[in-house]
A and B are shown apart, each in its own frame.
Chain A
Amino acid sequence: MAKFTGKYDEIFRGVLLLVLLALLVWQYLAAVTNVLTPLFLALLVVVVAFGMRVPWARGLGYFVAGLAVVWFFSIIWKLLFPFVAAFVIAYLLSPIVGRLADRGVPRGLAAFVLILAALMAVAAVLLAVVPPIIGQISKLVATFGYLPGRLEDGFARASEWLVELEEYEPSPYVKPLIDDLIGHAQGLFEALLKRALEFVTSLSKLATHIINIIITPIFTFYLLRDMPKIKRWVRERIPRRFVEDAVETYAEIDRVLAGFIRGQFIVSAAEASFVAVGLTIIGVEYALLLGIFAGIANMVPYVGTYIGALPAVIVILMGPDVMTRLLWALLLYVVVNIFDGHILAPRVVGRRVGLHPVVAMIAMLVGARFFGVIGFLAAVPVTATLKILAKKLERRYLEGPFFKQPPASRDAGGPPE
């Protein structure tokens, strides 16, 4: 009997111990979750995997490490935005700093002055362009915001009119229809209000933006000043057997991108100013906004100018004096398109990046779908870069043994039938 009690006692104690241990582990785990970040765990896995002598462990280690890198960047990519912006700006400005440096200006000074000038230019443009644009946008929003109210009035008047006409309550079939329409109009109005509120809350994110605005020029300065050193640093660390290829490929991408960016900037700026001035003369509202839109739309091959013309047509249709203004505006866009296609573009050679127009358009659609305006703007340069890389790979493949190896002759190698 005593034996039994002792046994049950021990089992009971054992279970209790397990429960307590589980609780303890659970508590500890809860306490250390801050330390057990995915990054730390991934590091542990990698260390353990590379310590093992099993062939698949190493592969697993690489896989986990890759996953951790992807995870890390997916968490912090928003923090990287000012640095990416700084890289892009430094890339755009570095030829100018290089040329100044050739003339004996120290790189640091050249970079500083250039960034200062760029900041002042941006500030000047913002001061000149933003208030009118905000005015135009708010007017546009007001026009559309006014619309639901007018619709409601219209429906109300229509129902009154129906009442008067029929001299009795609107039929039970028509009444819900009218109510429904009024409800829709109200929904639309509420949605617009909600958007406006969202805009206000987004202002609170301004602080982050201000920090970015400060970080970006500073980082740009260091990148610009030390560009040759950075390039050499990278070059010296590329495996020796790839360095030739890598530098050549970089030079090729650099040539195409620099040409494209410079050329596109010139063409877009020209088109934007022509359209803005022309529309102002014709007397179309929102001329500045429409001009900028035309400049951006110009990036789309072939049909860009006409895409750029669409909002202008809509604006004219909503205003007075439709026929004359429409004719003049269409004439303006056609003239701008001819000027762009036959006079400007052939002189700005670098704008061509060797992409088929259809490919460029698809790339822009895809870019815009996934990354918005930035995706749209970056689509052509990125695609052109990918094309250069793909060409390199193709050449390597065509020159490689995998492609060139002749088919095994049948009488020599093949297994007997």
Chain B
Amino acid sequence: MIAREELRKNRLFGEFSDAELDMVRVAADEGTYEDGRLIIAEGSPGERLYLIASGKCSVTTEISGAGTEEIRLLDEGDFFGEMSLIESAPVSASVYARGRCRLLWLERKAFDRLIAEDMPVANKLLRAIVLAFCERVRVTAAKIEGYYKMGKL
């Protein structure tokens, strides 16, 4: 089974107690992905919330006319795939392994059950996801501000 320490390193589970982590450990799966392997394809139905236990993953998107653009480089402790799990929509970007990485993941069913099963767990999990969203929105806002200023010059 996945070690507690490995899960706790992830920003999703920073506030989890041992007992709460154990609930995740039981429900989560693990696997290794070789360099360059496609983890999630843009437009496919997202079925998993991935956690990076080690290695890096790059998030890319297809921009029509401009080719493939790397949006973000995710590092150990980051997670991805949560958006399509929450809004049940196709994945908004592709994710590739950068170098060999070890990923842990929760399937949609496991994620839903985890949230339904225990109130504090659901609370902490969703809060962590929202926090990450906030950070992302702030980064995006700063980017837009930058573009705006660049446009004014």
Contact = CB atoms under 8 A, between A and B. Distances in A.
B37 A103 contact: yes
B32 A102 contact: yes
A228 interface: yes
Q: Is the interface of A mostly helix, strand, loop or mixed?
A: helix
B31 A101 contact: yes
Interface stretch (A43-51, A235-243, A370-378): A235-243
A104 interface: yes
A243 B23 CA distance: 10
Contacts, number: 34
B76 interface: no
Q: Is the interface of B mostly helix, strand, loop or mixed?
A: mixed
Contacts of B113: 236
A340 to B, nearest CB: 35
A84 B27 CA distance: 27
B29 A236 contact: no
A232 B110 contact: yes
Interface in B12-37: 22-23, 26-27, 29, 31-34, 37
B22 A240 contact: yes
B39 to A, nearest CB: 9
A169 interface: no
Contact of B22 (A101, A103, A228, A243): A243
Interface residues of A, number: 15
Contacts of B23: 240
B34 A103 contact: yes
A244 B27 contact: no
Given A228-B29, A243-B22, A236 B34 contact: no
A102 B26 contact: no
B26 A243 contact: yes
A56 B107 CA distance: 44
B38 interface: yes
B22 A102 contact: no
Nearest to A248: B1
B34 A104 contact: yes
Nearest to A237: B26
A232 B29 contact: yes
Which of the listed residues B22, B26, B27, B29 has the most CB atoms from chain A within 10 Å of its own CB? B26
Given A104-B33, A247-B1, 14 more contacts: A101-B31, A102-B31, A103-B37, A228-B29, A232-B29, A232-B107, A235-B1, A236-B26, A236-B110, A238-B26, A240-B26, A243-B22, A244-B1, A251-B1
Interface of A: 101-104, 228, 232, 235-236, 238, 240, 243-244, 247-248, 251
